[in-house]
Amino acid sequence: MPTENPTQLLAAPASQTWHHSLARLIQGASSPGFPAMLEKILRECVGFDSILIHTYQGQRHPLLIHDDYPPQRREQGIERYLSEAYLLDPFFSAVREGLEQGAHRLRELAPDRFEASDYYHYYYHALGLTEEVGIFARTAADTVIVVSLGYHRDGTCLTRRHLQALRHIAPVIEVLLAEFWKWQGHAFQDELDAQAPVEQAFDSFGRESLTDREREIVRLLLAGHSTKSAAKALAISDGTVKVHRKHIYQRLAITSQSQLFRRFLDHVALVSRQQAHDS
């Protein structure tokens, strides 16, 4: 049974502060400055160490519309993500698979061996991130905005209470982001249209050497799936995955998953250069 009714909650002093903040967000939802307002109020409510707000549209590169990264960290934290790392990101994968609302921890969406993956060490560990929460909002038929709140080593701690608060206010944030996109989305559309689809980077990797099933396994392993998890996803046995992995290494002339990861990043970079040249 709830210990407080709505009247008691609304009469609490903290409720007044929150509703003043909410009023400001509602008033500013249609303005260009809304993302910065949202950052300020979220920081007051729950705290975090970094924020990134990305727009995902179809299979295109994500478009960054707001962040608080200082200049000296942008190459590692933003440019690297937007140029190649996002392809293996659990938030990007979740959007591709249809997730469009709610507040979700990274570890809830990530594969079982994600924190042991080369991608995790290449991007998350290098940034000092220990946790990330994404607030997902479907803002148009083909558009999802994700507000990513990062928590760093020796920084702000994500508590259960903070996570619960984010989940409680997520529906409000989703509606406000949809209102923001309704009025301001046109300002970003040209940039989104200029972003070339990147699915071919996955589809073409190893195409000349690997079978379709082997390339499916490559994708799962690079994203952080264990042998068991990859086998479950493909409805095959663990042993079959191990055999395929052995063949993958032989055909690509590599000896480790780290070399596979590096080979994949090199391929993504090549595809990106080709797209830039053709556009």
Please report the DSSP string for 191-218 in residue order. Answer: HHHHSPB-HHHHHHTTTTTS-HHHHHHH
- Look at 193 and 257; give whichever has higher pLDDT: 257
User: What's 46's DSSP letter?
Assistant: T
Nearest to 111, CA basis, from 235, 253, 241, 225: 225
Residue 188 · residue 65 · CB < 8 Å:
yes
Of 87-101, 103-117, 211-225, 259-273, the poorest mean pLDDT is in 259-273
Backbone conformation region of residue 239, classed left if phi is above 0, alpha if psi is from -120 to 50, else beta: alpha
Domain assignments of the chain as residue spans, ordered by start: 14-194, 199-278
Architecture of domain 199-278 in this structure: Orthogonal Bundle (1.10)
Interhelix angle 227-234/212-223, rounded to 10 degrees, is 130
Q: Strand pairing partners for 101?
A: 137
pLDDT category of residue 1 using cuts at 50, 70 and 90: very low
Residue 140 · residue 105 · CB < 8 Å:
no
Does this model's pTM top 0.95? no
For the stretch 222-277, pLDDT in tens is: 999 999 999 999 999 999 999 999 999 999 999 999 999 999 989 988 887 777 66
Architecture of domain 14-194 in this structure: 2-Layer Sandwich (3.30)
For the stretch 13-50, pLDDT in tens is: 888 989 999 999 999 999 999 999 999 999 999 999 99
pLDDT category of residue 204 using cuts at 50, 70 and 90: confident
Cβ atoms within 10 Å, residue 109: 18
